[in-house]
Amino acid sequence: MTLLHWLLVVPALTAVLGVPRLPRWVKEVNLVGGLGATFALSLAVAREFLAGRVPAAFADALRVDGLSALVLVLSAFVGLLSGLYSVGYLRRNEERRRRPRPQEPVRLVTPSRRREFDALVPLYVFAMLLVCMSNNLGILWIAVELTTLASVFLVAFHNRDTSLEAAWKYLVLGSLGLAFALLGTVLLFASARGSLGDGMSSLNWTSLVAAAGALHPYTLKLGVIFAMIGYGTKAGLAPMHTWKPDAYREAPSPAGVLMAVGMLNGAVYCLLRVHLIARAALGPEFSGGLLLGLGLLSVAVATPFILIQWNLKRLLAYSSVEHAGIMALGLGLGVEAATFGALLHMTYHTLAKPLSFFSAGTLAQLHGSSDLDVIGSGTLARTPVASTLFVVGALIVTGSPPFGLFFSELIILRAGFGGEHTLAISIFLGCLVLLFCGFFYQLGRVVLGPPPESATWKKPLAEKLDAGAATTLLTAVVAVVSAFYLPSGLLALVHAAAGVVEARP
Amino acid sequence: MTADDVVILCAAGMLVSVYLMVGQKALFVAIRLYGVQSVLLGVVAVAMALSEHRSHLFTSAALTIGLKGLLIPWFLMRVIDRIGIHREIEPYVNIPSSLLICLGLTIVGYRVSSGLAEADHAVTHHVVGVSLSMLLMGLFLMVSRRKAVTQILALLSVENAVFLVALGATSGMPLVVELGISFDVIVAVLVLGILVHRIVDRFESMDVSRLSKLKG
């Protein structure tokens, strides 16, 4: 068994061990240990790649090049963070009681829900890793569908009216998007007109890129449009983003971060693979233009919704629509510097977004809801630590100067203004400024201001240093330190990924 | 009758099944229609396997007929039996106008398919034209109906349409990929069924227009 096999076996095994009824500490050790081992294995795979080998398995159906290696490490990292935070999150939820209603159980987390959670989170990580390493477009599709199926019950976790609504919308929209992506895959396959044979390897990304000159242009274009709509739905690019705010609000924070960062990276990765085939066959304008358009639209659509937002986690969802848009836009520009900027953006976003999610999750747990009008203003006075961390997270994800996302956005902007899409980039810059203001307007409403009258307001739970708070602090350290110091290996992976994207035949 | 005739006839039958699905309200009829549609898809695969000597298509035909023609309809029947809801209520768009819209969608589907790689080959043109029309009609069905089960059926019809394109335009995907896709489809139907159960438990209805609290 090679490293790649182990990288799939470990999270799958963790998922299986999550099913039986076991004492709580065993489950926690299993989840964190399994995801930690997965992260270590992904680092080992990346190291093998950097040493000059191309890890592959199953007759090249799985293959790790620079792009895969980067996304693989980022996904496994988010998986580990999610596992760590879920320990504290679930413990805290088990202590909290639901407001008593006659037909509902009093406990917030029932044992069967807990078992669901322990099995589905590693399964989700497994599917994400499979997405990142599959070279075969069919396997890629199967893995993306698996991520959707694994996450539906995580969205429905709290079993409220709104969770079921969110889960239903998520599943129907996600499956529809994936049906489109499947059609896109079939058409990409059809555009080769049988010249690649009909074995497993005929759907390999590497063989499609190699045969790009012979692909039938009309079929290919149709396939690219369908595949981009399909995988764009998973990435949450506008106008297919409508599931995102609902799902993020309802999903428990550890699952939310997997969707917002892990799945986002995975879906952008799929878009990029399709884009590279199209670019090799049709030149950069067609699919690059599609990516640019979808990206710009996402950034533009996210802006007004952030200004009128009424819920903390939905705010983060629209911020995630924005970041997906920035990545798509950077990749669509087709300039080498912008490509590097977009991949760097993906890296910094992965390192920074968990902080926002975890601190928002903590705030929501302490105040009993993530709706802004339930939380009330002046949280800085009532829950100082979580509020401060949330402000730091917001500074980073909105792209404020000393932090990484500022630099990656700057690189994309500079490359864009040097290219031919000046108008699009000007609109993009305007939206970024508005988004920044909007985010801080919302933040000011929640964090600052006088605390509400104590007689009418429910007192928040007291802050204490438990497992959840410790994980949030850890992610804060990661997010801040990464702005000033990226490990050289990670930077080498970003360069390797940009090299895969920019490699011209 | 040559194999090509069988293929065209079955593809046309699939198109008719979607029209019938749009044209009536009883849920159990819609489920049966989906079953018939899947069996026709299986027959297309068998005809192609025989005429082009591709033995792996037999496997996918058996899978299609067994899983989508029998197992999924049986499961969905059980779901509506247990929740006791048998009819679609008045759709957002009434049935005569729905049928007219579907006619337009069929024309669009055929028009788009005429530019494809092997469109000069009559069978491919028909099959891909039918499947793109089915895809568009499935989308329309999804946005115009209220019951959760109808939405599932629309989704599954879209999925059948994609399989028909795969047969028509490429004579079948690699077997491993097809197995994986079938597995995913089955799991998706199970998950959808469980979710419908939970929704009915909670809302005492499977009317998706009730799911409208989340906005903005």
Q: Tell me, what's the ipTM?
A: 0.91
Asked whether the predicted pLDDT for residue A105 surpasses 70, the reply is no
For residue B162, the chain A residues in CB contact (below 8 A) are: 179, 182-183, 186
Residue B46 lies in a domain: yes
CB contact under 8 A, B188 and A145: yes
Distance, CA of A334 to CA of A416 (rounded, Å) = 9
pTM score over 0.95:
no
For residue A179, the chain B residues in CB contact (below 8 A) are: 135, 155, 158-159, 162
Nearest CB to A189 within list B112, B151, B173: B173
Distance, CA of B126 to CA of B132 (rounded, Å) = 10
Task: Give residue B27's identity as a one-letter amino acid code.
Answer: L
Q: Which helix (H) or strand (E) holds A52?
A: none
For residue B184, the chain A residues in CB contact (below 8 A) are: 142, 145-146, 149
DSSP secondary structure string, A182-219?
A: HHHHHHHHHHTTTTT-SSGGGGBHHHHHHTGGGS-HHH
Q: What is the pLDDT of residue A107?
A: 56
Q: Residues 6 or more apart from B99 whose CB is under 8 A from it?
A: B19, B22, B23
* Helices (H), ranges, A96-192: 111-133, 137-155, 161-191
* Helices (H), ranges, B114-147: 122-144
| pLDDT grade for A456, boundaries at 50, 70 and 90 | low
Asked whether the predicted pLDDT for residue A348 surpasses 90, the reply is yes
With a cut of 70, which residues of chain B have pLDDT below it? Answer: 1, 89, 117-120, 171, 206, 215-216
**Whose CA is closest to A250, among A361, A166, A148?**
A166
CB contact under 8 A, B188 and A245: no
Domain count, chain A: 1
Q: What is the pLDDT of residue A301?
A: 92
Residue reference for tokens 């640019």: A292
Q: What is the pLDDT of residue B196?
A: 84
Would you say A331 and A291 are in contact if contact means Cβ atoms under 8 Å apart?
yes
Selected for mutation to probe chain B from A186, A193, A226, A229 (highest B CB count within 10 Å) is A186
Question: Searching chain B, which residue's CA lies closest to the CA of residue A315?
Answer: B216
- β-strand partners of A107: A97
The pLDDT tens digits for A120-169 are 999 999 999 999 999 999 899 999 999 999 999 899 888 788 888 889 88
For A113-120, what is the mean pLDDT? Answer: 88
**Whose CA is closest to A232, among A285, A165, A180?**
A180
| pLDDT grade for A2, boundaries at 50, 70 and 90 | confident
Distance, CA of B162 to CA of A185 (rounded, Å) = 10
Nearest CB to A171 within list B181, B195, B216: B195
Q: What is the pLDDT of residue A414?
A: 92
Phi, psi torsion values for B91, nearest 5 degrees: -70, 165
A201 versus A16: the higher-pLDDT residue is A16
Asked whether the predicted pLDDT for residue A98 surpasses 60, the reply is no
For A302-330, what is the mean pLDDT? Answer: 91
Half-sphere exposure of A111 (CA within 13 A, CB side): 5
Nearest CB to A200 within list B170, B176, B184: B176
Domain that holds residue B185: 3-207
Burial of B13 (0-12, 13-18, 19+ CB in 10 A): middle
Residue A457 DSSP code: S
Would you say A141 and A183 are in contact if contact means Cβ atoms under 8 Å apart?
no
**Whose CA is closest to B63, among B168, B175, B143, B182?**
B182
Residue reference for tokens 């747990």: A365
- β-strand partners of A62: A57, A134
Domain that holds residue A392: 3-502
For residue A187, the chain B residues in CB contact (below 8 A) are: 165, 169
Could you tell me the two tokens for A502? Answer: 């920019």
Handedness of CA A130, A133, A138, A141 (dihedral sign): positive
What is the greatest pairwise CA distance in chain B? 57
Q: What is the pLDDT of residue A339?
A: 92
Could you tell me the two tokens for A315? Answer: 């705010």
Nearest CB to B117 within list A176, A202, A219: A219
Asked whether the predicted pLDDT for residue A45 surpasses 60, the reply is yes
Handedness of CA A474, A475, A480, A483 (dihedral sign): positive
Distance, CA of A205 to CA of A215 (rounded, Å) = 13
Residue reference for tokens 């358009």: A293
Helix axes B148-170, A161-191, angle to 10 degrees: 10
Domain count, chain B: 1
Across chain A, mean pLDDT equals 88
Q: What is the pLDDT of residue A102?
A: 45
Q: Residues 6 or more apart from A423 whose CB is under 8 A from it?
A: none
For residue B135, the chain A residues in CB contact (below 8 A) are: 179, 183
